[in-house]
Amino acid sequence: MPQDNLAVSPTPDAATPFLIGDTMTGGYGSGADILHECTIAVNPGEIAVIVGPNGAGKSTAMKAVFGMLNLRIGRVMLDGEDISGLTPQARVAKGMGFVPQTSNIFTSLTVEENLEMGAFIRRDDFRATLEQVYDLFPILRDKRYQAAGELSGGQRQQVAVGRALMTQPKVLMLDEPTAGVSPIVMDELFDRIIEVARTGIPILMVEQNARQALEIADKGYVLVQGRNAFTGTGKELLADPEVRKSFLGG
């Protein structure tokens, strides 16, 4: 994928992460807090992975960054701007690409129509971006006129990621992108995610396959009960005896 069209400019202040959910505390509606002073961040070209046990608040942390729940404490900063008060739709306009775990494609539309839907906020000619997505996911070019609902699980996820890329996002957020796919398909999706990160786009990802995700992560966050339990590079967390014992099966 050519770098000039999808790459983002470096953050103006190297000390401030390009995207950060800073000390986030909050939950859904008027319910109890799910997140407790949770912080996650990612910089251009990085892959940051959120892992942890079921119910740890991984997807909730992602949704908090995207504006889908109320924060009582903390803030979300994107490219030096406080976007804490913005709706998810406004955050997309600011440059957030978000791929939810489920219901992330239009099954009755063709692959190409799904991708074109991703360009809904653009007013320019998006055909070059469409070609970039097809270069990244060649199988989608082959199936461009096929209904997306007829695709395999892994191919559907490629459509979902491709549609998010059509917005030319400043940051890409993926909630469980390999859920329900085979190990071979998981490896292929991770390879494509690495390729996207190499264009300069920061990637924030929630993953249930913790070991495999940390292997490709520049930065990892292990959450437990909505709190940061461990933070480090992917390699550091994979080598940490406590992380291995508690979360990676020894």
Radius of gyration of the chain (CA): 17
Give the pLDDT confidence score for residue 11 in this predicted structure: 39
Q: Edge to edge, what strands does the sheet with 35-42 contain?
A: 35-42, 19-27, 70-78, 81-82
What does the pLDDT read at residue 250?
60
pLDDT at position 10 is 42
For 204-223, how does the pLDDT look when each residue is reduced to its tens digit (9 = 90+)? 999 999 999 999 999 999 99
pLDDT digits (tens, 9 = 90+) for 72-83: 999 999 999 999
**CATH 3.40.50.12280 at 3-247, yes or no:** no
| Longest Cα–Cα distance in the chain | 51
Structure tokens at 182: 């085979």
pLDDT value of residue 103? 83
Q: Specify the pLDDT at position 218.
A: 97
Q: What confidence score (pLDDT) does residue 12 get?
A: 44
Residue 230 has pLDDT above 60, yes or no: yes
pLDDT at 6: 55
Amino acid 247: pLDDT = 87
The pLDDT of 213-234, averaged and rounded, is 96
Per-residue confidence at 65, pLDDT binned at 50, 70, 90? Answer: very high
Is residue 63's pLDDT more than 80?
Answer: yes
Q: pTM for the full model?
A: 0.88
The full set of domain ranges for the chain reads 3-247
**CA–CA separation, 163 and 133 (whole Å):** 8
pLDDT at residue 2, rounded to an integer: 44
In this prediction, residues 237-248 reach a mean pLDDT of: 93
Rounded mean pLDDT of the chain?
A: 91
Q: What is the 3-state secondary structure (H, E, C) of the chain?
A: CCHHHHCCCCCCCCCCCCEEEEEEEEECCCCCCCEEEEEEEECCCCEEEEECCCCCCHHHHHHHHHCCCEEEEEEEEECCEECCCCCHHHHHHHCEEEECCCCCCCCCCEHHHHHHHCCCCCCCCCHHHHHHHHHHCHHHHHCCCCEHHHCCHHHHHHHHHHHHHCCCCCEEEEECCCCCCCHHHHHHHHHHHHHHHHCCCCEEEECCCHHHHHHHCCEEEEEECCEEEEEECHHHHHHCHHHHHHHCCC
